[in-house]
Structure 1
Amino acid sequence: MQTRRQCLAAALLAAAGAPALAQDAVTVYGVVDMAMVQEAGGSAGKVTKLTSGVGAGSRIGFRGSEDLGGGTSAIFLMESGFQADTGAMGQGGLLFGRQIYVGLQGRLGTVTVGRQYTPHYMTTVMADPFGSGYVGDSKNMLAVTGNSFSRMDNTVKYVSPTTHGVFLELVAAAGETAADRESGRQLGMALDYTSGPLRLRFGYHDRNNDTATLRNTDNARNAIVAAVYDFGILKAHASYGRNRGLNSSVWRNNDNPYGYAETPLASTDSKDALLGLTVPFGQHALMASWIHKDDRGALNQDASQFALGYRYALSKRTELHAAWSRIDNRNGASYTVGSAIESGSGDRATSIGIRHSF
């Protein structure tokens, strides 16, 4: 009899817990991307390498949610980057260097806290036919060339609900400097609008450069407007950016590619322009982009990048890819052709690779 009661109690507990378990979800996902890359035009000559994260950064991630009732959910995401060619961790050895956050999602929007992408960077990615990857990566000249590097630590982010195709993003990050609440702090925002085949987005970022070595210096301020229009047979991409202040435009091949520089490496006043195309046909897709950096400073260190790419989908989760890119540096500018996670060594590069997502 006791055994029968225990079995009945266990069955009731399992039944009671089933709905709650059904409302919760945890997903494990990832990307493994490898490519053969040849770089040229650098001071050391040609470099040929088998490397990871060319089309997209190799990663493993965990995301999930819990239904709290009343239309509110708790959400989290933990994403770790790695080098598939060596097994080393990415993002300078950080355990969850790509992203890690926790927050609440409901009818009034979503609030998350942790290490997260900046709205300015996501605006740049939207405009880039290469999606901030491959050797045609816009980060070679745009997104990383500014104070709005791709991620912010110590970030509080709010994303509004979408109304009539419009939503708003707001971010703030503390510099966490003792006795100085403004030192190193960051603020950003984006306004996003979608209507049928058209998507428009404006992104802005402001970073206080006050550090031990940059006391009382100018803030870095970056603004960008981007547009994508899907004609069906092709997508047209365009963006225009304005960068002002110390560290508002820095060369990607510095000693700290995942942070901002302690001394200015390029212009403190520049304009950016991007034009691009994506042409999908069946399992194939062609990509092309032109990017121009207009240095408004005294040195006039302009640069232009032209890139071509090709993707072939073997399945929904596996693709082959190839790309070529070249940068024309002027008056001592030193922009280099990199990829999704590497800065590169010269002014031109070719890659061919494979990517699998799970």
Structure 2
Amino acid sequence: MQIPFHAGRRPAALALLLGLAGMAQAQSVSIYGLLDLSAGQFQNAGEAKLKRVESGRMATSYIGFSGAEDLGGGLKATFALESFFLADVGTAGRFGPDVFWARSANVGLSGAFGTLRAGRAGTPLFVSTLLFNPFGDSFGFSPAIRQWYNNNKGPGNAVFQTPLIGDSGWGNAIFYGTPKFGGLSANIAVAAGEGGVNKGPNYGGNVLYFAGPFSATVAYQHVEANGPGGNSLTNFAGFDHQTAWQLGAAYDFGMAKLFGQYGQIETDATTEVKTKTVQIGASIPVGPAGAVLASYGESKRDAGAVERNNKTLTVGYDHNLSKRTDVYAIYLQDKLTDVKTGNTYAVGLRHKF
């Protein structure tokens, strides 16, 4: 059966089609992610050598879904759902007991006032840590990330006990980011403890400054509740709370970009634990597509009469095959008081989509 198209109905039909097109344009949804795999010898200080294929050493593998809806008047509704996974074995999470949407699970609003999100996201301290070292958010190779966040749970960690509590992301939280004022911006996060051994709340923030070749940050957090990852507060007998602060800066000279960080973590427990951490690094361009990366981090942990030092040196070469794909080679030396030095050699491939 044919339905006649009357000229008089054309404006109504056209309006309907334009309305549907407008609705499609008003909301955008993206699927994206990253796969990172490396192969070689992996060894933390005080642990055995492991020759294997590893996921997420240069950057944690993940898949994400995000979107935004234009509400008019400069206001947008946003959401993000991002899940880590181990690409070498195909399982979800960064490690065994990880939640599924551990990277992000939040909904929010953005506009002239800035951005406001509720749910789970990365903490301001973590963002400052990854921005001001040449290896970014590399849990496997960045001395800064390893010494602040990587609770490796092996024999070496039993000696050093990576002290930061609360994971690199907080759930049950509210996040606010200011608009940019010139090169200046700030972020605040508050997370509820929600009972159990978690007293809560956690709160923290950072200030970021980017102007030409120079950039800098200051970050702070106060933690009373643990998350699904990171060090557990139950590892500190009589735990009450923990505070941490960090300063970071970088300068791009063109022929090299230099990075520096310094910070302290103080854990209030039966035995007070203080940790001081410093990191210096450089990224040196090699031709139009490559860069030599180098970083040295030193962390001093003082727990009463017991003092431990962790010294980590990482040198590598990263080469971009395209805007989305790079290959790299890494050497890492990990030293820890009173245990055997660990040596890591690895080559890897990273792809973003």
Q: Is the structural similarity TM-score above 0.5?
A: yes
Name the residue aligned to 2:223.
207
Q: Which residue of 1 aligns with 2:294?
A: 288
AA partner of residue 204 (structure 2): G
Higher relative strand content: 2
Residues 328 and 291 of structure 1, relative CA distance in 2, 3 Å threshold: same
Tell me by how many angstroms 1:328 deviates: 1.5
RMSD in angstroms over aligned alpha carbons? Answer: 2.7
Shift of 1:86: 1.2
Which of the residues 184, 193, 214 maps onto 1:175? 193
2:72 maps to 69
1:217 and 2:239 matched: yes
Aligned residue identity for 2:174 = V
2:277 corresponds to 1:235: no
Relative to the length of structure 1, the TM-score reads 0.84
Q: Identify the residue that residue 269 of structure 1 maps to in structure 2.
A: 274
Where structure 2 has 5 or more consecutive residues not aligned to the other structure, the ranges are 151-161, 227-232
> In structure 2, what is the Cα distance between the partners aligned to 1:213 and 1:31?
33
Residues 290-299 or 10-19, more deviating: 10-19
% identical aligned pairs = 28
**CA drift at 1:42:** 6.1
Question: Residue 313 of structure 2 is aligned with which of 298, 306, 320?
Answer: 306
Residue in 2 that maps onto 1:149: 167
SS in 2 for 1:193: strand
Give the Cα–Cα distance (whole angstroms) in 2 for the partners of residues 41 and 64 of structure 1: 39
Post-superposition offset of 1:41: 6.2
| In the alignment, structure 1 residue 193 sits paired with structure 2 residue 194 | no
- Cα displacement (A) at 1:112: 0.4
Q: Which shifted more, 96-105 or 40-49?
A: 40-49
Whether 1:321 and 2:324 are equivalent positions in the alignment is: no
Deviation at 1:45, TM superposition (A): 3.0
Seen in structure 2, the aligned counterparts of structure 1 residues 161 and 353 have a Cα distance that, compared at 3 Å, is: same
| Count of residues in correspondence between the two structures | 327
Aligned-partner SS, 1:14 = helix
**CA separation of 1:150/1:44 partners in 2, compared to 1, >3 Å: closer, same or farther?**
closer
Question: 1:79-115 deviations in whole A, cap 9, x for unaligned?
Answer: 1111111111014353212111110001011000111
Residue 135 of structure 1 contacts residue 324 of structure 1 at CA under 8 Å; is this kept in 2?
no
* 116 and 10 in structure 1: CA distance in 2 versus 1, 3 angstrom threshold: same
CA distance, structure 2, for counterparts of residue 101 and residue 156 of structure 1: 9
- Are 1:59 and 2:66 an aligned pair? no
Distance 1:191 1:207, change over 3 A: same
- SS in structure 2 of the partner of residue 300 of structure 1: strand
In 2, the alpha carbon distance for the partners of 1:114 and 1:2 equals 50
Distance 2:4 2:62 in 1: 48
Query: What displacement does 1:274 show?
Result: 0.5
Counterparts of 2:9 and 2:346 in 1: how far apart (Å)? 61
**Aligned-pair CA distance for 1:185:** 2.1
Q: CA–CA distance in 2 between the matches of 1:143 and 1:215?
A: 20
Confirm or deny: 8 A CA contact 1:209 1:218 kept in the other structure: no
What is the TM-score normalised by the length of structure 2?
0.85
Residue of structure 2 equivalent to 1:351:
346
CA distance, structure 2, for counterparts of residue 274 and residue 127 of structure 1: 9
**What code does the residue aligned with 1:62 have?**
F
How far residue 175 of structure 1 moved from its aligned partner, in angstroms, is 0.9
CA distance in 1, matches of 2:52, 2:301: 32
